[in-house]
Structure 1
């Protein structure tokens, strides 16, 4: 295919993975974006912008540029030089898919710069194999709610439009938690009972989201695979998982590896009571942070002419 003729912009959304029992396989996107502005030129130039990216490399070791190179390797073509300006609204190491947004934005940008030799399914497969699981990269690419698997045969997914009136409230504490640290506390083996619990609740959650059974979310989002083990790393998490439904939440879950906590809410109902409760949990835990109401992003990653 012909190389992209001019400058373009790529915007990839943040994401929340797992949603309780859907460990490494279920996620949704929210409208906080990582944005790239790519301008073909004679030499490569990497320009991180903004406070969030002040400590990221301004050279070809930048994670986002390396993601662009993944697209070139899969396509079997050299990556053309360009000026790449990077901005993000996604807080780093908070459980909102900052690395997935950067990875997807970079792969899509590399593919665009090469003239789109890769289709969307291949872009997803490249991203999922680099990340090691598809739960963040799939909603970052496609938007909405995505159930996805990764195996030797490929990356397979089903995208769901959000149920009517389903909104998201996130509590974002002011501390970072690395995914590697959050994974290190997980056990290497689980009992049959815990495996059956995880399978049944993940299936119920996917089914409830697909048909809009908001009344089932509180029950379907129960999890024994990762949240109970990660709770000591996230002060207040156990309180929220047990009590948020009493304050207007339809269900609650650790967002990805944390420390952000996600609550579903009914957009037809006010969220002030839920916000007050979440801020009180923060205060009682000796933490600071912010509480945001967000819609579920349905666009996914978008490419536009600059």
Structure 2
């Protein structure tokens, strides 16, 4: 690493908090995402020279790299480099709660954490607006559907234009009660994407357009429509063979009237219940029907998105 060109950054410290996310939400493939109240929290301090110290606690402890290849460090370096700055020495302490490889946006959260850390460390030196943050995160993630809700919170619609990625944040109806069901096993996002066909029937595309539009209305205004609104023909069926228990439990949940979908690339399940009692019923169903251990996480919708705070002095 090269030393940062701005000497007064040494000693600057920031605290970053980033929510988990669930992308796709059934029909909204690569477009819709929801921020959930489960967080990775990090402290980042600028050190003298090019020293790098990485300490990971909680999820990923003893598993993720503790050098410059750590995704948060790479994201900070990318953000500095895009502003023509070298990466200074850093001390990074991460306290992670977002499960890895489970379809809850852990990589997107790490990328957003790095972008937000860089924003905080460069306060007064460089300015970043919402479009800048989304573009930087998307450059590393490859698509904006996870990083948009991680950055901005709530329900986000993300799309890509010739000028870069864009988003619209919406406030979710207070009656929506998300439940995430997390298995012990992981799922590779790359593998999940490789199972996706290059093209789909026209009728399936039309089906998903209608359901995606309905899903926005259901999440914002009419939670009673969530079961119909979460139907999908674009991606979940193609990926089912790679996560058979996820598929089986989703079918059982939906047959019982619960709006269950694959969370992101899986293998976790997201249930968009319309009230807490429905959420409790879904937990009981999974406990009785699952063949392996599943963790139940009743979560609120996160409305704030990623935050960064100065810890100077």
Give TM-score, length-normalised by structure 1: 0.92
Asked if the contact 1:205/1:220 (under 8 Å) is kept, the reply is: yes
CA distance in 2, matches of 1:104, 1:145: 16
Corresponding residue for 1:266? 274
Counting only pairs closer than 5 Å after superposition, residues 123-134 of structure 1 correspond to structure 2 as 123-134=133-144
- Note if contact 1:18-1:24 (Cα within 8 Å) is conserved in structure 2: yes
Alpha-carbon displacement from aligned partner over 1:116-152 (angstroms, at most 9, x marks no partner): 4322221111112321211110000011110111232
Answering whether residue 21 of structure 2 is matched by residue 15 of structure 1, we say: yes
Q: Is the CA contact 1:124–1:155 (under 8 Å) kept in the aligned structure 2?
A: yes
| Partners of 1:141 and 1:4 in 2: CA distance | 26
1:149-164 superposed matches below 5 A: 149-164=159-174
Please report how far the alpha carbon of residue 69 of structure 1 lies from its aligned counterpart in structure 2 after TM superposition. 1.1
TM-score, normalisation: structure 2? 0.90
Deviations 1:68-127 (A, max 9, x none): 111112222223322111221011000000000000001111222122432222111111
Distance, in Å, in 2 between the alignment partners of 1:268 and 1:199 is 29
CA contact (8 A) 2:20 2:150 kept: yes
Aligned twin of 2:106: 98
Matched residue, 1:300: 305
Paired position in structure 2 for 1:281:
289
1:250-261 equivalence runs, <5 A: 251-261=259-269
Structure 1 segments of 4+ aligned residues over 6 angstroms from their partners:
none
Residue in 2 that maps onto 1:76:
84
Number of residue pairs the alignment of both structures matches: 301
What secondary structure does 2:212 align onto? helix
2:149 alignment counterpart: 139
Three-state SS of the structure 1 residue aligned to 2:32 is strand
Q: C-alpha distance in 2, partners of 1:15/1:59?
A: 26
Aligned twin of 1:217: 226
Deviation digits for residues 205-233 of structure 1 (CA, Å, limit 9, x no counterpart): 123323x1112111111111110111122
Matches of 1:236 and 1:49, distance apart in 2: 30
> Considering only aligned residues, what root-mean-square deviation do their CA atoms show, in Å?
2.0
Matches of 2:245 and 2:91 in 1, distance apart?
43
